[in-house]
A = this chain, B = another copy of it.
Amino acid sequence: MTEEIRRAGGNATPVVADATAAADVKRLFDAAAERAGAPVLVVYNAGNNRFRPLLEMDDAFFEDLWRLCCFGGFLTGREAARRMLPAGGTLVFTGATASIRARPPFTAFASAKAALRALAHGMAREFGPQGLHVGHVIIDGGIDGARLNRRFPQFKEARGEDGMLGIEAIADAYWHLHTQHRSAWTLELDLRPFKEAF
C-alpha cells in the first residue's frame, strides 16, 4: 500500500505497532511527529469481528475483543488529542452495526464496539469545543477489501454490484468529516450499501 501511495505522488511511512499497548501507540505517534509534525487526521480503524456463543467464550476471548476494539481506541485517541490540541484536527473511530445492536453470537464484539462508540461520543463532547473534531462512523455491511474477499470469495458475487462498501467510498466519507467547517461538524454517520437490508 505504501508503494501505491508513493506511485500516486503521495508520501507514506508504515509503522508496525500494537494498538493495544500504550508504549507502542506513543512510539507510533512520535515516529509520525518526527516525519510530519503534529497529526491533523487520525483514524482508529482496528477491530476484528469475532463471534462465539456466550457460554463458550473464555475470559481472554471477551477481553481481547475489548482491548482491540475499545482500549486501543482509547490509547490512540488520548495520544492523538495530546498532540493535536490546541491546534485541532480530526479524529475518527470506525464503528459497526454491532456498535448499536448486540446480536449473538456477536455479543462480545458488540460490547466492545458499544464501548468504543461511547468513548467517541464522550471525546467529541470534551474535545469539540477545543477544536478537535471527533467522529464515529458506523459501517453497516461487508467491506469490499482484501480481507473479506479472500476469506469469503463467494460473498462479493452473491451481493451483486456495489453490494459491498467500496473502500474509496468509505474514505470519501471520512474525508468529508475532516473537511467539514467547524460551524457544522458531524459526530456520527452510518454507511451502508444501497441494497443492504437493515
Chain A interface (Cβ < 8 Å from any Cβ of B): 22, 53-55, 57, 59, 62-63, 66, 70-71, 74-75, 77-78, 81-82, 85, 98, 101-108, 110-119, 121-123, 125-129, 131, 133, 144, 162-166, 168-170, 172-173, 176, 180-198
Known: A122-B106, A184-B169. A70 touches B111 (CB 8 A): yes
Contact of A194 among B55, B63, B70, B128 (CB under 8 A): B128
Name the residue in A71, A114, A164, A195 with the highest tally of chain B Cβ atoms < 10 Å from its Cβ: A114
- B166 and A181 contact, CB distance less than 8 A: yes
- B114 and A126 contact, CB distance less than 8 A: no
Q: How far is A128 from B196 in the complex, measured between Cα atoms in Å? A: 8
Contact of A107 among B107, B122, B182 (CB under 8 A): B122
Name the residue in A125, A163, A168 with the highest tally of chain B Cβ atoms < 10 Å from its Cβ: A125
- B165 and A173 contact, CB distance less than 8 A: no
The residue in chain B whose Cβ has the minimal distance to the Cβ of A121 is B102
Contact of A185 among B70, B107, B193 (CB under 8 A): B193
